[in-house]
C-alpha cells in the first residue's frame, strides 16, 4: 500500500516540498474530508519540529494518517482481518453480518463494496480490502447513521395531499428578524433548495401598479412580487418534483391582485395549476402528490365554487372583483395573535395612535375583502378557509378548503380537544404558523403539531435552533422531497390515537446507542488551537411519554478525536413519530455550554450497525 500512496502523491512533490495550501489541495484531490482548524494544528505541529513552513512526503504521510487513520477503525479492521493488512471477501461478509446487522448480505454485496471503495488496484483485483478501502467504506453514506434507502423517495406518493406532512416555511422572504430584517430573494431560493413545499408570500400594493412583498407595517425591505415569482419559477422543482404550494398572505387591492394573477400565469406558465385535474369539480378527496408533480398550487381566498371558476375561465372575465365577508374568510395570519390591526394611518399621529387606543375587539373585525376573480380562479385545491371550530368544519368544510391556525390557538385546541383535532387533520390540510409577537422570528416546537397530524407546520426557516433542526431532520426522510407520509393512525378517519393516550397504537422499540468517539469536531470558539471539552446530548422528541434526554461525560481538551465509549438505552412507544437529536456541546463551565454541532433524524430512519 506504500507504493500506492507514493504514486498518488508524488506529482505534487515533483518540485520539492509543499506548504499548507499545497497540503490542502492534495487532501482535496484525494477526496479526504478534513476540518481546516485541525489540519492547521497538525501541520503546525509537524513543521515545529523543523525549520521553515514546508513539509516532505514523509511529513505528509504522517499528517494523512493523523487525519484519516482512526484507531477505532483500526481495531475493527484488525478484529476481522487475517493478517492485520487485508480483509478478504469472506471476512468482510462476516463484518457486515455481525457488526452492521446486514443479515441479507451475501458474497455479491461484499464484492460490490470492495469494487466501490478499495483504492489499491492489486488488492481490488484479488477481491480483497485494504485498511484504506475499509476507511473509505466506513466514512461513506452506506455507513451513515441515516438509512440509505430513505435517501430517495420510497413512500407511497399516491395518497391524498392531506395524508402527508409537508415542509412549510413562514415569512419566507425574511433572512434576519421580522421587524428590521432585509427581505431577500435568497430566502426563497434557499428554502426551495432545502425541499420546502409551502412558501408564504406576504403581498401588498406597490407603486406603478406593481405588487410588492414584505412583512406588513414593519420596516423590512420590499421586493417586487414579480421578482419573487421569477425566483420561484427557477428553483421550484430543483430539489423535489412534488407540488409546491404558494400561500398568499394577500393585502392587495383587486387591481393589483389582477397583476398578481397575470404574473403567476405568464411567469409560471404550464407549471401553474389553474383548473382541477381532469376537469373534475365535484371532489370527495384531494389528488395525490404524484398526480400533482411539477405543479405550483395557489393557496388564497376564493369566491364561489370550482364550477363557477371553470365557466368564468371560458368567458375570460377581466377586471371583475367580488366581495367576500370576513365570516367566510380571514387572512391567514391576521387573527388576534398577530400584528397590529390594519387602520387608516394619518401620518401625523400614527405612532401614538397605535399605542394609546385600546386594541379593537374581535367582533370589529368583520371586514369585507375584495378578491379579483382572476386571482380567485387560480385557487383549486388549496382554498384558505377561516377556521370556526371542529364541528363547523365537519359539517361544512370541503376537502379542498384548508385552515390556518396560529400556534397559540392550536396549542390550546390540542390540549383540550386532541381527538377532534386529529379527526380534523385526517380530512383537511391544516397550517400552523408562529405568532406575530415573535419579533425575533423565533420558532415553536413543531413536534407538538406533527403529533396531531398537522400537515403544514410553518417555521421561520431563517432562524437556526433546535426547532428548525427538527424540521430539517424530519424532512431528510423520503428523499428530502418535502412530503412525508403520515403514520396510518393519523390518516385513518376513525382513529382513536392521541399523543397523550397512544393505547393500542404503540409499537414499542428499544433503542440502544453506543457513543464511541468523535472525529474532527469543531474546536471551541475560546480555544486558540484546536481544542474543546466536548459532551454529547442525545434527545428523543415525540409523543409526550417518549420525550427523553441523556448526556455523556465530558472529554477534556480534545476536539480532534474524543472517545466516550458509553451506551444509552431508550424505550420508544411511538417510533413512527419520534425524532432523535445528537447535539455536541463544549463545556465552557458548569453553567455555560457552547454549541458545536448537531444531527437530527427520524428514529425510523436510523441505520443499524
Residues labelled as active-site residues: 170, 215
Strands 401-406 and 430-433, sheet pairing: parallel
Regarding beta strands 244-250 and 579-587, do their DSSP bridges make them parallel or antiparallel, or are they unpaired? unpaired
Phi, psi of 281 (to 5 degrees): -105, -10
Q: How far is 366 from 359, CA to CA, in rounded Å?
A: 15
Helix (H), strand (E), coil (C) string for 551-582:
ECCCCCCCCCCCEEEEEEEEEECCHHHCEEEE
Closest alpha carbon to 573 in 471, 505, 492, 473: 505
Question: DSSP readout, 66-135?
Answer: HHH--HHHHHHHHHH-SSSSEEEHHHHHHHHHHTS--TT--HHHHHHHHHHH---HHHHHTTEEEHHHHH
Which grid cell sits at 239?
Answer: 430539489
3-state helix/strand/coil string of 471-482: HHHHCCCHHHCC
Q: How far apart are CA 22 and CA 506, in angstroms?
A: 56
CB 196, CB 169: distance < 8 Å? yes
Q: 450 in the Ramachandran plot: left (φ > 0), alpha (ψ -120 to 50) or beta? A: alpha
Beta-sheet pairing, 296-299 with 244-250: parallel
From CA 410, how far away is CA 391, in angstroms rounded? 15
Asked if 240 and 290 touch (Cβ cutoff 8 Å), the reply is no
Taking the CA atoms of 221, 225, 227 and 233 in sequence, report the sign of the dihedral they define: positive
Q: How far apart are the first and last CA of the chain?
A: 28
CB-facing half-sphere around the CA of 217: CA atoms within 13 A: 15
209, with CB counted inside 10 A (0-12, 13-18, 19+), is: exposed
For residue 294, give Cα distances in angstroms to 104, 244, 280, 555.
37, 8, 19, 49
Q: Could you tell me if 463 and 441 are in contact, meaning their C-beta atoms sit under 8 angstroms apart?
A: yes
The three state secondary structure string of 44-55 is: HHHHHCCCCCCE
Rg (CA), the chain: 28
Residue in the structure block whose three cell numbers are 472517545 = 563
Give CA separation, 201 vs 171, 228, 427, 535, in Å: 7, 9, 25, 41
Q: Indicate the SS3 state at residue 515.
A: strand
- Yes or no: say if 282 and 233 are a contact pair by the CB < 8 Å rule: no
3-state secondary structure 204-235: ECCHHHCCEECCCCCCCCCEEHHHHHHHHHHH
Which phi and psi (to 5°) does residue 540 adopt?
Answer: -110, 130
Amino acid at each position: 500500500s506504500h507504493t500506492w500512496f507514493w504514486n498518488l502523491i508524488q506529482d505534487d512533490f515533483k518540485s520539492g516540498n509543499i506548504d499548507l495550501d499545497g497540503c490542502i489541495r492534495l487532501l482535496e484531490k484525494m477526496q479526504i474530508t478534513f476540518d481546516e482548524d485541525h489540519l492547521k494544528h497538525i501541520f503546525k505541529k509537524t513543521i515545529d519540529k523543523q525549520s521553515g513552513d514546508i513539509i516532505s512526503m514523509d511529513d505528509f504521510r504522517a499528517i494523512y494518517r493523523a487525519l484519516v487513520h482512526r484507531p477505532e477503525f483500526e481495531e475493527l479492521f484488525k478484529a476481522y482481518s487475517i493478517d492485520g493488512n487485508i480483509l478478504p471477501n469472506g471476512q468482510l461478509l462476516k463484518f457486515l453480518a455481525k457488526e452492521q446487522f446486514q443479515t441479507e448480505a451475501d458474497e455479491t454485496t461484499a464484492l460490490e463494496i470492495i469494487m466501490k471503495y478499495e483504492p489499491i488496484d492489486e488488492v481490488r483485483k484479488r477481491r480483497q480490502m485494504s485498511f484504506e478501502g475499509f476507511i473509505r467504506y466506513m466514512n461513506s453514506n452506506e455507513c451513515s447513521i441515516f438509512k440509505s434507502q430513505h435517501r430517495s423517495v420510497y413512500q407511497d406518493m399516491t395518497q391524498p395531499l392531506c395524508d402527508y406532512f409537508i415542509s412549510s416555511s413562514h415569512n419566507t422572504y425574511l433572512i434576519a428578524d421580522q421587524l428590521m430584517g432585509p427581505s431577500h430573494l435568497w430566502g426563497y431560493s434557499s428554502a426551495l433548495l432545502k425541499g420546502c413545499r409551502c412558501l408564504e408570500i406576504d403581498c401588498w400594493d406597490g407603486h406603478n401598479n406593481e405588487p410588492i412583498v414584505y412583512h406588513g407595517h414593519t420596516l423590512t425591505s420590499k421586493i417586487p412580487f414579480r421578482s419573487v415569482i421569477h425566483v420561484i419559477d427557477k428553483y421550484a422543482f430543483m430539489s423535489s418534483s412534488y407540488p409546491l404550494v404558494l400561500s398568499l398572505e394577500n393585502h392587495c387591492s383587486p387591481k393589483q391582485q389582477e397583476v398578481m394573477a397575470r404574473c403567476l400565469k405568464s411567469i409560471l406558465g404550464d407549471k401553474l395549476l389553474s383548473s382541477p385535474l381532469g376537469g373534475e369539480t365535484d371532489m370527495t378527496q384531494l389528488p395525490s402528490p404524484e398526480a400533482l408533480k411539477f405543479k405550483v398550487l395557489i393557496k388564497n381566498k376564493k369566491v364561489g365554487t370550482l364550477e363557477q371558476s371553470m365557466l368564468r375561465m371560458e368567458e375570460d372575465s377581466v377586471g371583475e372583483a367580488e366581495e367576500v365577508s370576513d365570516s367566510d374568510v380571514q387572512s391567514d395570519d391576521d387573527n388576534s395573535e398577530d400584528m397590529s390591526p390594519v387602520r387608516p394611518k394619518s401620518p401625523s399621529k400614527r405612532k401614538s395612535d397605535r399605542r394609546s387606543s385600546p386594541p379593537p375587539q374581535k367582533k370589529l373585525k368583520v371586514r369585507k375583502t375584495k378578491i379579483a376573480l382572476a386571482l380567485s380562479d387560480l385557487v383549486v385545491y388549496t382554498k384558505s378557509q377561516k377556521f370556526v371550530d371542529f364541528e363547523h368544519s365537519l359539517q361544512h368544510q370541503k376537502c379542498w378548503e384548508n385552515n390556518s391556525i396560529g400556534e397559540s390557538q392550536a396549542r390550546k385546541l390540542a390540549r383540550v380537544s386532541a381527538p377532534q383535532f386529529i379527526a380534523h387533520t385526517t380530512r383537511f390540510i391544516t397550517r400552523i404558523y408562529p405568532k406575530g409577537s415573535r419579533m425575533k422570528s423565533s420558532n415553536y416546537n413543531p413536534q407538538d403539531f406533527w403529533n396531531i397530524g398537522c400537515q403544514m407546520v410553518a417555521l421561520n426557516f431563517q432562524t437556526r435552533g433546535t426547532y428548525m433542526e427538527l424540521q430539517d431532520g424530519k424532512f431528510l426522510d423520503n428523499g428530502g422531497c418535502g412530503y412525508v407520509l403520515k403514520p396510518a393512525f393519523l390518516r385513518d378517519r376513525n382513529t382513536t390515537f392521541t399523543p397523550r393516550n397512544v393505547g393500542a397504537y404503540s409499537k414499542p422499540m428499544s433503542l440502544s446507542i453506543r457513543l464511541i468517539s468523535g472525529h474532527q469536531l469543531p474546536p471551541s470558539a475560546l480555544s486558540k488551537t484546536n481544542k474543546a471539552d466536548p459532551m454529547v446530548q442525545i434527545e428523543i422528541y415525540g409523543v409526550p411519554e417518549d420525550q427523553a434526554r441523556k448526556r455523556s461525560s465530558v472529554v477534556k481538551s480534545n476536539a480532534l478525536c474524543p472517545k466516550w465509549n458509553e451506551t444509552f438505552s431508550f424505550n420508544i412507544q411511538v417510533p413512527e413519530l419520534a425524532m432523535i437529536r445528537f447535539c455536541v456541546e463544549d463545556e465552557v463551565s458548569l453553567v455555560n455550554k457552547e454549541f458545536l454541532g448537531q444531527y437530527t433524524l427520524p428514529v425510523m430512519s436510523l441505520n443499524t450497525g
